[in-house]
Amino acid sequence: MSHNIKILPGATVCEDCTLEGDITIGGGTVIHPRVTIIAEGGPIIIAEYCIIEEYSTIIHKKSDKQESPPKALFIGAHNVFEVGCRLESIFGHIGENNIFECRSFVGVDVRIGSGCVVGAACCLTAQQVLVDNTVIWGSEHHIREALEKQPSQLLQLDFLSKVMPNYHRLRKPNVHKRQPSRQSTEPAK
Amino acid sequence: MAYLVQPDYVKYVCSCGQMKPITNLYFCRHCLKIRCGFCICHEVDSHYCANCLENMPSSEARLKKNRCSSCFDCPSCFHTLSTRATMVQPRQDPASGDAKVENKQPKKMYYLSCFNCRWTSRDVGIPDQPVASGGWPERVNPFANRFAQLMEYYKAIAQQEKQEKLDKERKKFAIRGNYITLTDKTGLTGAMARNRAGMPSSESTSSAIANFVLSQATEEVEELPDDYHSREVNLKMITTMPQRLASPEWQAQQVSRLQPIARPLSVKRSQRCRQCDHNLTKPEYNPGSIKFKIELLAFYHVPEVKIISYETIKPGVTSALLLKLTNPTAHEMQIQLIQPNEVPEIEEKEEPKNIEKSLEKSLNLEKDMSWKSVVERKPTLPSAIKVNNPELTFTLAQRDDAAEYDDDSHHDTNDIILWRKSNKLALRLQLTADENAKVGLPAVAVVALQYTYRNTVPPTSTQPRDHTLYTTVTIDLGIVSQ
């Protein structure tokens, strides 16, 4: 099952993480150790410049009403998955510039736009759609709409991709394309 | 730690009748009494901002409405806002796009951002600032004018009433006899005295009262918009009640009208015994320090009682209770358990009247003790559970930080004393619950301690160094069960 892992050049993927199923990881993305990504219900495509921190879990779950061929879970660029978060969404598309804070949980029936923030320890289980720039925070799950997208983490990404190879064994990129971009990864499904 | 996170199982009775855990009590070394936050005098020592730790004299604090000028709270979630810096390219050349323009230095601009709910000052259109702190636009209270009027009016009224009272007093004197009032004697008239004291003259107060416009109620109110009831509500755009009440001057209804809230100042308090006016606690002046210059806490002076374990309380049944007693002082302590009703009433000693005292009295400077009748009361102690006190006085060694490295030398354990360890000992007590104790009600045992206390205050010739003190303790033993 774990043969179909495509890592595009420029991605930093630590060896000590669980990747199962058909997974594509875009260039510039950093995946920390102890991350679990399981694509059992269909392929998972992670676009460029995402940060996936330790102990976060992304699962594309199998469901009964699955189409065939299975729909891919596409995670847009510049998403940040902080330590210990869990994403189980099966909706095909997760936008860009989202932040999933520490130990947040996003359940199966949640559709996520762009620029959203799921606050630390926030737990979204009910069926809902997060429109662009929604911020959820606090133990009472207050909802707010931000005016603009969250600032990007490019500096942090630069730093991580420089420092990570010094301290961790990395998985080597196995797909060689000259210009890895979203258009070129999508036909992979 | 147990005192912070657990319910208060053991409570002490304060000299004012309140029951509190030992960590909430003070001990006045001069009156030799337990005091609590309810019966002492709290004084503000200094104002400071808990975020930037800046000290502020009270006059300045009053001027700034008790708020810090450089720190802000998030109007959305009330977390402290942080200043964030961004590099901003000068705006003149939008065509250049991502390409860096060499000849234009990027400028550092600052905005406020909340790390909890990610609110930023950009969300409500506050322009970024070129300096890191300060310079944020201040909003003017729309009712500032009216507010000032009201203040002036009520000040004038207060002034007038004071004046009337003074006049009345003077009249009383005049009737009484041949006394000369101070102003008469010095040849000052009231107006001149006022002038000297820098108080507004009576003319200006009367004009302030005369010029004051009362608020008018009108019958015509602005009509609500037609779609007021039918319009769909977007909860994300409307502020919540706590958000509105956090800035009572504006009470923004729209999220887009929220403004950073200047952070309220905190105070350092010193606490004073009302009876003898000595300080009980006095913090260090530096806001960053959490230490005290004076710290007379009961925890350091009164023997501490803790529950080790107890048997379930049943009506009419004798059960066991294991207690641990600790001597926190640096002197040996003799402790005896007594019944709470055996605690002698401490009568207020009438202090010897010397000349100074009577002078004070005549000048009406004597301390106002009227608070006592208001504050003090007798606690009602439950009596359903009787502690069968052993007729035994035991000695608790002084606190010794090095003791844990020593081997314990004496072990005078017996039926009552379970074990001893430096300044602690465990007691096995017998409790008898009343036969009529109601099942399901809380079981509270009351025990009084008689203990010796050596006062380390430099003694005067009249005061003895060693005292016998009493304290009453209530012990929560769950509920009476079948």
| Global ipTM | 0.80
Contacts of B381 (CB under 8 A, 6+ apart): B13, B340, B446, B472, B474
How does strand A93-94 pair with strand A73-75?
parallel
Search chain B and give the residue with CA nearest A143: B236
Question: Alpha-carbon distance A133 to A148, whole Å?
Answer: 7
pLDDT at B264: 93
CB A37 within 8 A of CB A23: yes
Residue of B78, B79, B118, B123 to mutate, testing the A interface (most A Cβ within 10 Å of its Cβ): B118
Q: How would residue B438 be classed by pLDDT, with cut points 50, 70 and 90? A: confident
Q: What is the DSSP letter of B254?
A: B
Which one-letter amino acid corresponds to residue B230?
S
Q: Which of B117, B122, B237 sits opposite A135 (nearest CB)?
A: B117
Residues 30-69 of A with CB under 8 A from B: none
Q: What are the chain A neighbours of B236 within 8 Å (beta carbons)?
A: 134, 143-145
Search chain B and give the residue with CA nearest A131: B236
Q: What are the chain B neighbours of A148 within 8 Å (beta carbons)?
A: 122-123
In the predicted model, is pLDDT for residue B61 greater than 80? yes
Distance from CA of B6 to the nearest CA of A (A): 23
Query: Picking from A127-136, B36-45, B134-143, B308-317, which range would have the lowest pLDDT averaged per residue?
Result: B134-143
Distance from CA of A78 to the nearest CA of B (A): 17
Strands (E), B50-200: 55-56, 67-73, 81-88, 107-114
In the predicted model, is pLDDT for residue B202 greater than 60? no
What 3-state class would DSSP assign to B203? Answer: helix
Please compute the mean of the pLDDT values over residues B83-98 and round it to a whole number.
67
Q: Which of A142, A150, A151 sits opposite B117 (nearest CB)?
A: A142
> Tokens 């059960």 correspond to what residue?
B319
**CB count in 10 Å sphere of residue B454:** 14
Rg (CA), chain A: 16
The two three-digit tokens of residue B133, written as one number? 């702190």
Give percent of chain B with pLDDT exceeding 70.
82
Question: Alpha-carbon distance A55 to A86, whole Å?
Answer: 9
What 3-state class would DSSP assign to A61? Answer: coil
Whether the CB of A117 is below 8 Å from some CB of chain B: the reply is yes
> Tokens 């769909």 correspond to what residue?
B232
Task: Sort B185 into a burial class: Cβ within 10 Å, 0-12 / 13-18 / 19+.
Answer: exposed
pLDDT digits (tens, 9 = 90+) for B157-166: 999 899 899 8
How does strand A5-7 pair with strand A18-25?
parallel
Q: Which of B116, B122, B236 sits opposite A137 (nearest CB)?
A: B116
Whether the CB of A143 is below 8 Å from some CB of chain B: the reply is yes
State the count of interchain CB pairs (< 8 A) between A and B: 39
pLDDT digits (tens, 9 = 90+) for A47-62: 999 999 999 999 988 8
pLDDT at B353: 45
pLDDT at B175: 55
Distance from CA of B266 to the nearest CA of A (A): 25
Least Cα distance to B379 among B13, B135, B125, B99 occurs for B13
Q: What are the chain B neighbours of A147 within 8 Å (beta carbons)?
A: 120, 122-124
Q: Which of B116, B123, B237 sits opposite A146 (nearest CB)?
A: B123
- Residue ranges, chain A, pLDDT below 70: 1-3, 66-67, 92, 177-189
Torsion, Cα of A119, A124, A129, A135 (10° steps): -10
Q: Which of A137, A143, A150 sits opposite B236 (nearest CB)?
A: A143
pLDDT digits (tens, 9 = 90+) for B304-314: 999 999 988 88
Least Cα distance to B333 among B378, B363, B300 occurs for B300
pLDDT digits (tens, 9 = 90+) for B99-119: 544 556 788 889 999 999 899
CA B50 to chain CA mean position, Å: 16
| CA distance from start to end of chain A | 15
Contacts of B439 (CB under 8 A, 6+ apart): B315, B480, B481, B482
Q: What are the chain B neighbours of A143 within 8 Å (beta carbons)?
A: 235-236
Please compute the mean of the pLDDT values over residues B169-184 and round it to a whole number.
60
Distance from CA of B123 to the nearest CA of A (A): 5
**CB count in 10 Å sphere of residue B398:** 15
Distance from CA of B4 to the nearest CA of A (A): 22
| CA distance from start to end of chain B | 33
Query: Picking from A183-187, B39-43, B383-387, B473-477, which range would have the lowest pLDDT averaged per residue?
Result: A183-187
Q: How would residue B270 be classed by pLDDT, with cut points 50, 70 and 90? A: very high
pLDDT digits (tens, 9 = 90+) for B217-248: 888 888 888 888 888 888 888 899 999 999 88
Residue of B87, B117, B119 to mutate, testing the A interface (most A Cβ within 10 Å of its Cβ): B117
In the predicted model, is pLDDT for residue B174 greater than 70? no
Distance from CA of A51 to the nearest CA of B (A): 19
What one-character-per-residue DSSP string does B22-56 give?
Answer: GGGEEEETTTTEEEETTSEEEEEEEEE-TTT--EE
Q: What are the chain A neighbours of B255 within 8 Å (beta carbons)?
A: 144-145
Q: How would residue B410 be classed by pLDDT, with cut points 50, 70 and 90? A: low
Question: Alpha-carbon distance B422 to B396, whole Å?
Answer: 8
Question: Alpha-carbon distance B404 to B442, whole Å?
Answer: 37
> Tokens 């529950």 correspond to what residue?
B307
Q: What are the chain A neighbours of B124 within 8 Å (beta carbons)?
A: 147
Give percent of chain A with pLDDT exceeding 90.
54
> Tokens 């319009």 correspond to what residue?
B231
Q: What are the chain A neighbours of B122 within 8 Å (beta carbons)?
A: 147-148
Question: Alpha-carbon distance B236 to B245, whole Å?
Answer: 18
Name the more confident of B320 and B196: B320
Question: Alpha-carbon distance B371 to B132, whole Å?
Answer: 50
Distance from CA of A134 to the nearest CA of B (A): 9
How does strand B417-421 pair with strand A134-137?
unpaired
Q: Do B117 and A144 touch (CB under 8 A)?
A: yes
In the predicted model, is pLDDT for residue B267 greater than 50? yes
pLDDT digits (tens, 9 = 90+) for B419-434: 888 888 898 898 888 8
pLDDT at A188: 45
The two three-digit tokens of residue B145, written as one number? 């004018």
Q: What is the DSSP letter of B92?
A: T
Q: What are the chain B neighbours of A119 within 8 Å (beta carbons)?
A: 116-117
> Tokens 């009529």 correspond to what residue?
B436
Search chain B and give the residue with CA nearest A101: B116
pLDDT at B350: 45
Q: How would residue B212 be classed by pLDDT, with cut points 50, 70 and 90? A: confident
Search chain B and give the residue with CA nearest A144: B236
Torsion, Cα of B459, B462, B465, B466 (10° steps): -160
Give percent of chain A with pLDDT exceeding 70.
89
Q: Which of B77, B122, B255 sits opposite A137 (nearest CB)?
A: B77
Q: What is the DSSP letter of B160?
A: H
Contacts of B113 (CB under 8 A, 6+ apart): B81, B82, B83, B84, B119, B120, B121
Q: Nearest 5°: phi and psi at A98? A: -90, 155
Task: Sort A29 into a burial class: Cβ within 10 Å, 0-12 / 13-18 / 19+.
Answer: buried
Q: Do A145 and B236 touch (CB under 8 A)?
A: yes
Q: Do A148 and B76 touch (CB under 8 A)?
A: no
Q: Do B120 and A119 touch (CB under 8 A)?
A: no
What one-character-per-residue DSSP string does B357-391 give?
Answer: HHHHHHTT-S---HHHHHH--------SEEEE--S
In the predicted model, is pLDDT for residue B96 greater than 80? no
Q: Do B117 and A119 touch (CB under 8 A)?
A: yes
**CB count in 10 Å sphere of residue B29:** 18
Question: Alpha-carbon distance A18 to A35, whole Å?
Answer: 6
Question: Alpha-carbon distance A156 to B77, whole Å?
Answer: 27
Search chain B and give the residue with CA nearest A146: B123
Q: Do A144 and B122 touch (CB under 8 A)?
A: no
pLDDT digits (tens, 9 = 90+) for B312-348: 888 888 899 999 999 999 888 999 988 888 888 765 5
Give percent of chain B with pLDDT exceeding 90.
27
**B328-346 b/e (C-beta count within 10 Å ≥ 16 → b):** bbebebebbbbebeeeeee
Q: How would residue B25 be classed by pLDDT, with cut points 50, 70 and 90? A: very high
